[in-house]
Structure 1
């Protein structure tokens, strides 16, 4: 009643299992190669870290080493010493000598509380002068490992001391 077809003998079961196992292993090897080739570089910056250097009349943005030639440069220098150098001694070069930030090693304690892999970006806009001081609106964005960027807004006051511009006060905005 049913037709019989003559077919070649199928592969023995053990041979089929070997071919299936070889195929699975080949696929796993290919996936491993893809994973290694596409894995992120361990020396790359944290995801989402960008800090374009920008200098205009009303906005300075960056994360560079700064100097004491202007208020914006002193602010950049302070934050570079804080986040990159991780040194209170370096940061103090941008502060007036009697700054409250230098009391009781507070500055180094604050630096040590931040993960060493943290990157930063500073944006600085002028708020205006008060007497011999200049006030600045400062936004610091921290890029810490494994969390969303952390944004801090500050009002920073700078003034000229012995022909250099130093930070006299940093307060939350």
Structure 2
């Protein structure tokens, strides 16, 4: 004798069980991830907000100032205290003061840098209100690898890379040469 077929209802219940088990596993995993995220956020220290902006480094939302042995980033006034600072001073004169004279003032008189007139023409080709961010990294040969990012008022972003050589020794630091990467 042939046994009677099993009712369809039993098969329907059996097919739904893997779905229920899988759904429960997904929900459980999501709950575990949520718990970990909540505890991680609660355990992390509060973020520091800047209450003082270093005028030499500058800073803006798109150019957070950074200074360590391998990198200086900023858009501040700069100074003649170090290689990275004199590079910041040159770029500040170019983008903020918009003065070829001020830019050339932080170079040596015989520097391999364009004249005041050529620098001024370059400045005039950049729209007023253009923001900039300068990244300065020291190179093994004493030069600096400089990346300048400009954000124009139209939101167009341009990036330039230069190798900059500065004076060595005591006293104020000046730029000796600005050249394309080589």
TM range (shorter): 0.5 to 0.7
Structure 1 portions without partners, runs of 5+: 1-47
Determine helix, strand or coil for the equivalent of 2:91: helix
d(CA) in 1 for partners of 2:119, 2:146: 18
Q: RMSD over aligned Cα, in angstroms?
A: 1.9
- Does structure 2 retain, via aligned residues, the 8 Å contact 1:140–1:151? yes
- Higher RCO (Cα < 8 Å, 6 or more apart): 1
Superposed CA offset, 1:122-163 (max 9, x none): 00000034xxxx300000000012143111111111114772
Q: 1:102 to 1:153 in 2, by over 3 A?
A: closer
Structure holding more strand per residue? 1
Instruction: Provide the residue aligned with 2:161 in structure 1.
Output: 153
Instruction: Provide the residue aligned with 2:118 in structure 1.
Output: 106
Determine helix, strand or coil for the equivalent of 1:123: strand
Shift of 1:172: 1.5
Instruction: Provide the residue aligned with 2:174 in structure 1.
Output: 166
Comparing 139-148 and 53-62, the one that deviates more: 139-148
d(CA) in 1 for partners of 2:87, 2:76: 10
Superposed CA offset, 1:28-66 (max 9, x none): xxxxxxxxxxxxxxxxxxxx9611010011000000001
Of residues 68, 71, 82, the one that matches 2:80 is 68
- Does structure 2 retain, via aligned residues, the 8 Å contact 1:49–1:143? no
Instruction: Provide the residue aligned with 2:25 in structure 1.
Output: none
How many residues align structurally? Answer: 122
- Does structure 2 retain, via aligned residues, the 8 Å contact 1:49–1:119? no
Runs of 4 or more, structure 1, over 2 Å off, are 99-104
- TM-score norm. by structure 1 comes to 0.65
Residue 144 (1) aligns with residue 152 (2): yes
Comparing 64-73 and 157-166, the one that deviates more: 157-166
Structure 2 portions without partners, runs of 5+: 1-59
Residue 126 (1) aligns with residue 134 (2): no
d(CA) in 2 for partners of 1:103, 1:49: 33
Superposed CA offset, 1:67-114 (max 9, x none): 111000000000000000000111122111112434361111111111
- TM-score norm. by structure 2 comes to 0.62
